[in-house]
Structure formats: C-alpha cells, structure tokens
Chains A and B, each alone.
Chain A
C-alpha cells in the first residue's frame, strides 16, 4: 500500500439549493480507493450515492455545491479544480457506466461513431487505426458481429447489448477507474449477471478500479472487495462483504440485509383437496399480428393454471416472457387467441366488457408502477372509493366510514385521505392502490410487479402487508414478478415463463429448491447475493 490511493475523499459535504431551500446530500464523507480495488457504495434512494458519483466525475448539476472537504482523484482535487482539469480526468482517468442503458446512448448517432468519439478523445486526434480499434472494443465487450453492430443505431440493439456498448465507451479512454452507477438495475436478472461478470473480468485484466453504486446489498456483497453503506448522505458502515453477511454491527445495514427478501421458499399447506379453483386458465395462447410481418408473434402459448382461495400463484419471467399478457387475459382486458378462461366455474372467455363488469367486484388488480396508478387530481379518498362509487354501492357517511376502514387496513393514518398522490411516497401510494383494489372486497387479487418500483426496505413492508391481508381476508393472489426472492417469500405455486412458453410449473418448494429446467436454475443463480453467502444468514 505504498502507492497513493486512486481516490481519496476527506470530510466531503455536498448540498443542493432548490427554490431557496438547501438540502444536504452528502455530509462529512471520507473514504479511499486503491488502484485495482472494487468498492461498492450501497444505499437507498436519497442516500446521496448518485451525488457522490457525479461529484467524482466533476459533473454535479448547477444547483449543487461542494460545501467542504477534499475529493482527490489521481492526485487532483476535483472539488477545487477548474473545468479544464476536470475534463482531463473524465474518460482518461475516470469513466462512467451509466444507470439506464436504454436512454444513455445518443439515439441519432451510430454505435461505432459514439465509441470512436471516445477513442479519439483519448488519443486527442483522429488516427488510422480508429475503425479497427472500435471493432476490437466491441468484440472485447462480448458483442457478436462487431462490424454490423458498429453500423447500427442504439434503438436496433437490446438493453443488454447497449450496456455492453456503454462499457466499450468507458474502456475506450483506458481509464484507471470505472464508476458503474446502478449498472444493471434496468436489465433482466440473467442478462444482469452475465454483463457484471464480463465487466469484472475486463476490469480485472486491465487492473482498473471499479466503483459500484447500487441499492442492492446482495449484489454489492457478490461483487465488491469492500462496501460503504450510506443513509441520508452519511456513511453508516464501512466493511468487507464477509463482515456484513456474518452479522453487521450497524442496525441499518442489518435492516437492509433482512429487508431484502431471503431466498427461502415458503412451506404452507396446499389447497384442501376437492376444492374448486377460483380462477382457471386452460391452454391459453395469444398471438399478435405484427405490422409489416406475415407471421404473427406468439406472446403466450399453452398456458394452464389454477388459482385457489387463500393461496398465491406466482408467474415468474423476464421481460418479453408473456407474463403481463397472461395477466391481461385473466382480467378480461384481452381475449385469448385460444384456450379458455373460467372464473368460479363460469366460462368467461371472450366476455365483453359489459358482461365481465359484475365479475370486477370479485377480481381486482394492483398495478406495477404506484407513481402512475393514481389519478394526480384525485385525493386518496376519491381514489379509494372510486370503485364503490362506480358500482353505486355506498353513499355519504357509509362511504366515508368505508374509506376510513380501508385506509386503516393498509396501515395509513386517516388524515391521509385528504392528500393528493404527489404528497405521498412510493410505498404510501402502493398502499393506497392496494386499498382501492380491496374496496370491492375481491376474492382474487392480481399483483403486477407490486414492489419492483420501490426501495428494498419499503418492499419488505408492502410484502408483509400483502401477507397479512391474505391471512386475514383469505384472498387469492396471482403474483407476477421477475424477482425470484419476492416470489419465494410469497408463493405457494410457481409458474416459470420464457418467451411465452411455460418452462416449469408446480409447488413453490419443489420448483425453487429442485428446479428441473436449466432456465430456472439460471434464474436462481442470478439472484443477487445467492452465489456467495447470503444463504447462511437467511437459513
């Protein structure tokens, strides 16, 4: 350790000024990073972790201000350096792999041009070998047919491929440090795992330091040599993954770790024998005609499932697996191309909206994104009672009493009835959405990725609420999720979908602990934190 550290942060404080108010984003943070080391900074939203990434790159927005402290990158104090000196660091000393690959490439430039631009900056001029180096980089980050990819525009590539292009751009300047800001949270789990593996291999070969910014403690433990846990801009814990996993000293870190649903399939008695299913899909398929293509696209093929009262059926799949289509068919929002849908013994296949309407009182949906699921102009009261008003069930005082019951049931204070959605946090909005779905006292509740948009600690609270509701009210859940940990904590039955095909189906315990198909095994292996040592803590 004779070499000076690559990054040295001492007593750093950053604040934002907005509408005359000052908010502290980072308070008195200190840490250092050696050449070749991998460090993970873990925190939930509002912890200041993204501000730190921007500060290291010298790219803080105009309303941010470094109040005190030093921020040395390769010996240069970024906090005090001029724009020219910061620019010299970017790309050549510090590079960035941004958060969302779908929107992080310029849509109007070819992929090759965007990589070439970074190479050219690093060499400070055009040079003859430029084109071949672009192709070489594309091959190194694991893209097939580099010559074709270089000519394509970003929208012609998938999310994973775009992330690889972004890694190529980061590598182009031959940097000493790569900052990966939530590098794969926008991607499917299996893709996420492959890309992180690849990135770590490339970084290790070149001796580059890696700074991973993430909300996912499990992923951080898998990948990093050391961890910094941040909360509200302050450093909570500085430890190795092993120390964190084998019992952290800090309560917040322990909370974070426990909040992440442990991958333990639950054991519960199955449905009583002879009970008729509430919802039954038999051999359901769905095809869409694509404009400009002769063959229709098969979104779903030969799906059969039974949902029993008080039980949870989980549909697992990555994007494009057809899980949302299955949900929409069950809700009568789309007609299946083939197969039958039965609700409580009644064949509802191809019901019109009007014919389906009475059933809406028995089957309801909780949507994926709580930020768009509530009408911004409706108060919580208006939102919750809307189904009751639509069906004309209650009026006046009875309606207000019911609203109070519902809001207490989702564990929110009664005063919240008066709030508008913009005055609520994400978790609170999801509670309101659940209350709205419960208003009609349904027997089946469809949950479409109910917690994927929320912070980990909030996820745990919502999952606990759903669990309690099921226990008390005996509702059947159909849970659609890409997150196997969430699925394991809730499901009795599991159904794995891939590209519209059922890969595996059965009791949760059996599918998750003795998966038959390789795809399910791959999904399980890709759970962050699974590969190393989360299990010893959870078990």
Chain B
C-alpha cells in the first residue's frame, strides 16, 4: 500500500506553502496576552512579583536596615519617611516587611514544593495504577485529611523543633492530601478520554501516554491549586510564627511581625495591622491570579 496518490493538493502546482511549527514560547504568549489586558490580573501580578523581588533582593526596595533600632523614632505613625511607621524599637516597619518576605516566601515555596512532590507522586501513582495500590494510597490520604493541618504541623514542630524550616515542612505535609486528591481525580478523568485511547491504539506506551497526554492536560487544575496553596502556605507559616513556633523574634518574618505588634494595638495599631494588610494583598493577589487563570482556561 502506498500513499503517493494525491486526492487533493493545496494550491495549483504551487510549491507546498511554507509551514513552520509554532514554538512553545509563541503559544504561551498567545495564551497569556488576553489575561494581561485585564487590569486586575496585571495589578495582582505586580504585587506577587514585588513580593518575590523582596524575597530575592530586599535591599533594592528599601534604603533602611531591617535591624537598625532608633529609640527616638519608636512607634511613630506612617509617614513619608516611614511608610508603614516604626515599631517599639524605632525600626522601619516597611523595611522589616520587605526583608520579612525572604523567610516567609521561602518557607511557602518550600512547603508548596513538598506538597507538589508528595501530592503529585501519590496522585499520579494512585490514578494510574488503580486497584489495590490506589485504594491503599487513598486511605492514607483520608487519614492525612482527618488530621487538621495546623495540628499536624504542631505535632511535627513538637517533634523536630521550632524554626522556619520545620514550620515549612509541617505546612507542606499538611497540604499533600489536597494535591493528591486533585491530581488523582484529573488523572482518572483524562485517562478515560478518547484521545488517550487513540494514543494507546496508535501504539503509545503507558509511560509515553502519561508524559505526553495525561500529565500536560492534568497540569492546569494542579497548577491553579499550587498557586492557591502558595497563598495558603504563606498564611499557615505566618500563623505558626504568630503562635511562636517560627523564626525567633529579632528576625523579620510576617507572622512574627504581626504577633509582636499586637501588644501595642491600642496605642499604635499600624504596627501589626499594616504588615498584615501587606500579607492580605499578596495572598489575595495570588488567589486572583489562580482564579483568573482558571476562568480563562474554561
């Protein structure tokens, strides 16, 4: 059987028109461009980029030193010099929030990375293997779900000690079950779609099907969840720091900043409320990004 019988050719005897495959980057640009045209999305992106920049290079964003005390200026209200005011030792609060991004964002990234690795691993394995392995893994996820996130984190912190890294690990383990469930559901859904069957009938191995069809198509909802959980991880690490299990007091960390400011709530409410507002802005922006991406995909 040969295939050189042409039933139809595009154009009369003209050479085959130039056709080049679009690159991935071009396709990404096409996908993101309409999102960037929305002002809300761009603003949220700017806030998140600001927080990431603060985590990488805080000295670019502030001229003060985060630990330099100045008792004369203690508890001064927000002004043109001290944008967020100063704390009880006269330290510039805006600077401390910016420098605090390093610990908080790193902790949140570590937590999400742990959750992604664990959750994706369990989810893909359970969804793809099926049968007894699936049942066993899902029972494990049920058990992890039954342990309230913060309390599981508290138990882990009790065992391995206080500090930012243990807190991040604890938070990450707490998010695993959600990831595992979402990933498994997506894998199960995509596994039964006709195009996966077509690929299998075309001779593709399970591994190839997994890597080329299932994972790329399952990635969307998982990425959205990762963005959402990045915000949730910031809140959870801040919460644990607030309770006194995170970074020790002189260190700047968002949860610790809010916690130490609450003793001056009556006289100087900005000391805890403004850093908190910054956290709200970052997390809300993350949620907005995730949500816009999700709505756009639909």
Contacts and interface: CB of A to CB of B under 8 A. Distances in A.
Given A361-B203, A390-B204, A408-B7, A441 B195 contact: no
Nearest to A359: B203
Contacts of B42: none
B258 to A, nearest CB: 42
A441 B202 CA distance: 11
B113 to A, nearest CB: 25
B19 A436 contact: no
Best-buried of A373, A379, A386, A391 by chain B (most CB within 10 Å)? A386
The size class of the interface chain A forms with chain B is 35 or more
Interface in A439-481: 439-441, 443, 468, 472-474
A327 B89 CA distance: 78
B16 interface: yes
A217 B5 CA distance: 36
Interface in B206-257: 208, 213, 216-217
Nearest to B208: A390
Interface stretch (A1-9, A202-210, A414-422): A414-422
Interface string B188-211: 000001110111111111001000
A129 to B, nearest CB: 47
Contacts of A443: 1
B195 A418 contact: no
B21 interface: yes
A216 B17 CA distance: 39
A440 B201 CA distance: 11
A387 B21 contact: no
A369 interface: yes
Contact of B19 (A374, A383, A418, A474): A418
Contacts of B208: 390
A368 B194 CA distance: 9
B217 A386 contact: no
Contacts of A439: 202
User: B-side binding surface: helix, strand, loop or mixed?
Assistant: loop
A473 B201 CA distance: 21
Contacts of B17: 414-415
B29 interface: no
B7 A409 contact: yes
B202 A408 contact: no
A406 B8 CA distance: 10
Residue among B6, B17, B202 facing the most chain A CB atoms (10 A cut-off): B202
A360 interface: yes
Contacts, number: 99
Contacts of B19: 404, 414-415, 417-418
A441 B1 contact: yes
A372 interface: yes
Contacts of A472: 5, 7
Contacts of A376: 217
A61 interface: no
Contact of B201 (A365, A372, A468): A365
A347 interface: no
B201 A360 contact: yes
B22 interface: yes
Contact of B8 (A369, A411, A415): A411
Given A408-B9, A411-B7, A413-B10, A375 B213 contact: yes
B3 interface: yes
Contacts of A381: 21
A411 B213 CA distance: 27
A414 B10 contact: yes
B202 A440 contact: yes
B interface bracket (residues with beta carbon within 8 Å of A): 20 to 34
Given A411-B7, A414-B19, A441-B1, A373 B204 contact: no
Contacts of B213: 375
Contacts of B202: 360, 364, 386-387, 390, 436, 439-440
B43 to A, nearest CB: 21
Contact of A386 (B1, B4, B199): B199
A41 to B, nearest CB: 31
A361 B201 CA distance: 9
B203 A367 contact: no
Interface string B1-43: 1011111111000001101111000000000000000000000
A375 B209 CA distance: 11
A390 B7 CA distance: 27
A417 B199 CA distance: 18
A331 interface: yes
A424 to B, nearest CB: 14
Interface string A358-400: 0011001101110011111111010100110011000000000
Given A386-B199, A390-B208, A375 B217 contact: yes
A486 to B, nearest CB: 20
Nearest to B205: A390
A377 B22 CA distance: 13
A386 B204 contact: yes
B201 A364 contact: yes
Contacts of B216: 377
A331 B204 contact: no
Interface in A182-211: none
Contacts of A441: 1, 3
Contacts of B198: 365, 367, 373-374, 433, 436
15 contacts: A372-B194, A376-B217, A386-B204, A387-B202, A405-B6, A408-B6, A408-B7, A414-B16, A415-B19, A418-B22, A436-B202, A440-B202, A440-B203, A468-B7, A472-B7
Interface of B: 1, 3-10, 16-17, 19-22, 193-195, 197-205, 208, 213, 216-217
